[in-house]
Homo-oligomer: A and B are copies of this chain.
Amino acid sequence: MRRQEDVMKRTLITLLTMGLVMVFAALAAAQANDPLPSWNEGASKQAIKQFVKDVSTKGGPRFVAPEERIAVFDNDGTLWAEQPMYFQLAFALDQVKALAPMHPEWNEKQPFKGVLENDLKAVLDGGEHALLEIVMATHAGNTTDEFSQTVKDWLTTAKHPKTGRPYTDMVYQPMLELLAFLRANGFKTYIVSGGGIEFMRPWSERVYGIPPEQVIGSSIKTKFEFRDGMPVLVRLPEINFIDDKAGKPVGINQHIGRRPIAAFGNSDGDHQMLQWTTAGSGARFALLVHHTDAEREWAYDRSSSIGHLDKALDEAQMKGWTVVNMKRDWKLIFPFEKK
């Protein structure tokens, strides 16, 4: 009797232990297999995973051929932060300071005077025209190769005013995971930004895994000519294309020539891109990043001039587009928060 009990007890313990080991193993495996570890469980994460599963399930009713799996992402406020000012504007202001010794007249001339005196209010008082003047003075005149090098050099030294980190550290960890998850499922990921195409291309591959040919943005005109016997492309002080608002579907058509099946944005500047994407037939996905976390990032929407989100938010709620609540949906915001 005693012997039999012992055997039963040992067997029971063994089974329990095995059971627990299996449970823990399953949990660990689930965690290791989670393609979006920085996303909290919830409707947003669920919707993304379901869409990706649907379009990549061969024979399923919502299957999409791999070559049509095009996903477009806004950049400022969607893939990286955009406060307290668009990072490209910070670059332009720094460039004004770097170029100032060659332009003594800037000391007396707005908007440059304001930049040199760190009087941002005076700069912004000049409105759109002042900003355009700054962009042209800092983004044109050189060759494409030279400009690319200037951007790379700036990124190695410039620091974000709030975090003291390089600007390319200020990317959203959950969005990096989302980009990788989509690519692992046959998607081609594109940036479609109001920002400058040549400002993003020098670092988009390193930071986002998005090659230059998959970056769409605003641009100035360039001109082919010879300098010292070598062919170069010179950047002209003339707008070529503004890739914002109704310009985004135009830019997408011009560069890709197919309608995306998924679009990701954060402001009314992305509204038409989301409308264009979701108006196609078959499985479609639209997502807005809603900046709701004043503590870890910034909180802004309808009343903000940067990242103004109003009409697109209304349509998202009406159409059932996914709206990411940064505070609730994201475990981490920036990669440097990782322990």
Contacts and interface: CB of A to CB of B under 8 A. Distances in A.
A48 to B, nearest CB: 23
Interface stretch (A49-57, A161-169, A255-263): A255-263
A197 B257 CA distance: 9
A257 B224 contact: no
Nearest to A188: B213
A90 B230 CA distance: 38
A176 to B, nearest CB: 19
Given A211-B67, A257-B201, A249 B276 contact: no
A275 interface: yes
B254 A219 contact: yes
Interface in A185-205: 188, 197-198, 201, 205
Copies in the complex: 2
A35 interface: no
Interface in A124-172: 144
A231 B144 contact: no
Interface in A215-262: 215, 219, 222-225, 230-231, 233, 240, 246-247, 249-250, 253-258
B201 A224 contact: no
Contacts of A256: 212-213
A272 interface: yes
Interface string A274-290: 01100100000000000
B257 A213 contact: yes
Nearest to A144: B253
A257 B225 CA distance: 17
* Most chain B beta-carbon neighbours within 10 Å: one of A198, A225, A233: A233
Given A255-B213, A257-B212, A231 B67 contact: no
A231 B249 contact: yes
Nearest to A278: B231
Interface of A: 67, 144, 188, 197-198, 201, 205, 211-213, 215, 219, 222-225, 230-231, 233, 240, 246-247, 249-250, 253-258, 272, 275-276, 279
Given A212-B257, A225-B246, A231-B275, 4 more contacts: A67-B205, A213-B257, A222-B254, A224-B249
30 contacts: A67-B205, A67-B211, A144-B253, A188-B213, A197-B254, A198-B257, A201-B257, A212-B256, A212-B257, A212-B258, A213-B255, A215-B257, A219-B254, A223-B250, A224-B246, A224-B247, A224-B250, A224-B272, A224-B276, A225-B246, A230-B279, A231-B249, A231-B272, A231-B275, A231-B276, A231-B279, A233-B250, A233-B253, A240-B254, A255-B255
Q: Which 5 A-B pairs have the closest CB atoms?
A: A212-B257, A224-B246, A201-B257, A213-B256, A224-B249
